[in-house]
């Protein structure tokens, strides 16, 4: 019996931003959905505006699965994950073991389909867009928390914005200039 999809259904129970007080609680499932949508949008921007040839659907799917190992490992806060190289290396090893465990939960004839989604090429252009979408999603979360009066996210907002800018990806720059301002509007203002 394969437990792969049952495990994935647990994504909604793993909370993000565990060390910071949250006005609005976000789980891995919600975060992954937003990352997938943003990653798809970045791919479309690349294709339409910068003559790239991305597979937007593949990039969207990579976004959906980008943190699936956290179903087993849980979420480790970014300041801890990147505190020093030893912790980062150890956590990457833990993620790799979790990824393999999930992959082997699938029937053997399906593993080849999911392996590139779970054990992805982190140097690929597609993965760079997913990582950018992940940062943009984190930035949106910070903006929402600050808008709700939570000052706990002020420093994180600045840090994440700098990381986004430092990526120097033209699709990301376009998204930030053209689409990001809408995220600060109220529902009435979007109308």
| Structural domains of the chain sorted by starting position, each given as residue range(s) with its CATH number in brackets | 4-190 (1.10.3210.10)
DSSP 3: -
> Could you identify the residue written with the tokens 């073991």?
97
Query: Which own/partner pairs from 93-99 qualify as long-range (CB within 8 Å, at least 24 positions apart)?
Result: 95/69, 98/69, 98/70, 98/71, 98/72, 98/73, 99/68, 99/69
Which two structure tokens, joined as six digits, stand for 138?
């984190």
Q: Which residues contact 8 (CB under 8 A, 6 or more apart)?
A: 68, 71, 102
For residue range 143-162, what is the model confidence (pLDDT) as tens digits? 988 988 888 889 889 999 99
Average pLDDT over residues 24-46: 92
Closest CA to 41 of 162, 167, 132: 132
For residue range 39-80, what is the model confidence (pLDDT) as tens digits? 999 999 999 999 999 999 999 999 999 988 888 887 766 666
Note the pTM of the prediction, 2 decimals. 0.86
């Amino acid at each position: 019996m394969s437990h792969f999809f049952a495990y994935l259904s647990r994504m909604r129970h793993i909370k993000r931003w565990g060390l910071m007080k949250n006005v609005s609680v976000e789980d891995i499932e919600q975060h992954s959905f937003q990352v997938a949508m943003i990653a798809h949008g970045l791919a479309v921007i690349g294709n339409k505006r910068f003559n790239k040839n991305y597979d937007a659907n593949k990039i969207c799917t990579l976004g959906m699965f980008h943190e699936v190992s956290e179903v087993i490992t849980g979420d480790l806060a970014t300041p801890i994950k990147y505190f020093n190289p030893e912790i980062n290396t150890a956590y990457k090893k833990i993620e790799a073991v979790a990824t393999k465990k999930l992959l082997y939960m699938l029937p053997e004839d399906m593993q080849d389909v999911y392996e590139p989604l779970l054990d992805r090429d982190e140097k690929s252009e597609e993965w760079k867009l997913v990582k950018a979408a992940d940062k943009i999603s984190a930035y949106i979360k910070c903006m929402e928390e600050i808008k709700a009066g939570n000052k706990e996210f002020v420093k994180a907002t600045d840090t994440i914005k700098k990381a986004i800018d430092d990526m120097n990806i033209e699709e990301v720059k376009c998204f930030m200039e053209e689409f990001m301002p809408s995220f600060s509007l109220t529902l009435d203002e979007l109308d």
